[in-house]
Amino acid sequence: MQNVLIILLVFCSTYGFSQKKLVKDIDFDGIQDTTYLDSQTAGIICKLSGQGFKKVKTKVFETSSDNAHIEGTKNGFEYRCNWMRAGYANQFRYNKALKKVELIGMSRYEFGNAANDGSGESSVNLLTGDYIGNWNYFDEAKKRLIKIPAIKTKMPFEKVFLENFSEETYFNYADRCSKLYEKAKLQMQKRNG
């Protein structure tokens, strides 16, 4: 029994650590790079072989939680933070021309309240500025969830690189996204009378 507990503890600690650290070739030079969450600042640190494994880090994160982790993607990595009823992801990729890790996309989801009012998801491609949001609202009079038609629009951002990325980057996106949702919700409510 004691051996089983030890194995379980080792597995759990290894699993928890593996979600905080990613070893992958980010700068496409054939050498493994390391990306991880800094336990002191909760920010992202990336050590690229092409830059002599020098630490490149984001600004300090104030609201990051134990639910934040790094995941590898096809061409880079993603910083994810999930809470009980909401979460978000920020996608990064190495820009070969500028020799920097660049934020290329953001996404978010919400389950809304108990009636799922405000539930849905959205994403923005920072390379094209294309935004798409799929949201719902709860109609009190009809006592049912109403799907808002997909919100498709442009949402331009200035270029964001790892070293100037902060939670404010995501919060700016979330705020702009919420305003689009509120506008679309009001239009639907007027249309449905």
Alpha helices in the chain (DSSP H): 2-20, 167-192
Burial 170-179 (b: 16+ CB within 10 A, else e): beebbebbbe
Q: Residue 11 pLDDT more than 60?
A: no
Specify the DSSP element, H or E, that contains 72: strand 68-72
User: For residue range 50-79, what is the model confidence (pLDDT) as tens digits?
Assistant: 999 999 999 888 766 678 899 999 999 999
Domain boundaries, the chain: 2-192
User: Helix, strand or coil for residue 164?
Assistant: helix
Q: Please tell me the pTM assigned to this model.
A: 0.84
Q: List the one residue out of 142, 143, 145 whose CA is nearest residue 118.
A: 145
The per-residue pLDDT for range 148-193, each reduced to its tens digit, is 999 999 999 999 999 999 989 999 999 999 999 999 999 998 887 6
For the chain, the average pLDDT equals: 87
Would you state the pLDDT for residue 152? 98
Average pLDDT over residues 15-41: 82
Does the pLDDT of residue 8 top 80, yes or no? no
CB 27 within 8 A of CB 47: no
- Does residue 15 register a pLDDT over 90? no
Specify the pLDDT at position 192. 78
Task: Check residue 167 and give left, alpha or beta (phi > 0: left; psi -120 to 50: alpha).
Answer: alpha
Percent above pLDDT 90 for the chain = 71
Q: Average the pLDDT over 114-138 and give the result.
A: 96
More confident residue, 183 or 7: 183
* pLDDT score, position 10: 37
CB contact at 8 A, 188 and 146? yes
CB neighbourhood size of 74 (10 A): 5
Look at the block and give the residue holding tokens 């990729």: 93
pLDDT band at 5 (very low <50, low <70, confident <90, very high): very low
